[in-house]
Amino acid sequence: MRSRAAIFLVTSLLAAPLEAGDAPPVLRVTGTIAGGVVEFDLETLRDLPQTTLETSTVVTDGRHRFTGFLMRDLLHKVEARGDTVTATALNDYVVEIPVSDFRDYDVIVAYAMDGKQLERADKGPLWIVYPRDDHSELQDIRFDYRWVWHLSGLDIR
């Protein structure tokens, strides 16, 4: 954990990213965006219009109420241009997501579940959540892959 933090700090310094906030960054956005690199802390992400979404998931029992922001609002904020978002996670999970998902569906990046902040132990601090219960086509393994928990990076191309 310590060496990962150190490596992160070094790469941060080398890339000299724009810092959106003073608290520790939780999400690094790169690619074809304004400024090239933006790091967000949780406080800054909470300033995005808040959205809630109630849905079941493939990894929890029953329905839960997720709170976060719309992925398309974040992409708009960083002036993203491109068709594909590569999402990475703290556990080195990587998946490509077509940007069209975020136009077609109210996909959120959640930081709370049932009113409680998502901790690392429960898929946090950030989790991509699809409105699965509202669209039968989303109840598919192709979309399950895109529910990135421990989300830490988005690269738009």
Task: Tell the smallest beta-carbon distance from residue 16 to ligand MTE (Å).
Answer: 27
- Within residues 35-64, the interface with ligand MTE by CB under 6 A covers 58-59
Backbone CA torsion sign across 52, 57, 59, 61: positive
Task: Tell the smallest beta-carbon distance from residue 143 to ligand MTE (Å).
Answer: 9
Non-local CB neighbours of 132 within 8 Å, separated by 6+ positions: 55, 56, 57, 138, 139, 143
* Binding track over 83-112 against ligand MTE, x by CB under 6 A: ------x-x-x-------------------
* 145 counts as binding ligand MTE under rule CB under 6 A: yes
* 144 counts as binding ligand MTE under rule CB under 6 A: yes
**Quick count: other Cβ atoms within 10 Å of Cβ 133?**
14
Instruction: Decide whether 19 or 150 has the Cβ nearer to ligand MTE.
Output: 150
Q: Is the peptide bond before 17 cis (omega within 30 degrees of 0)?
A: no
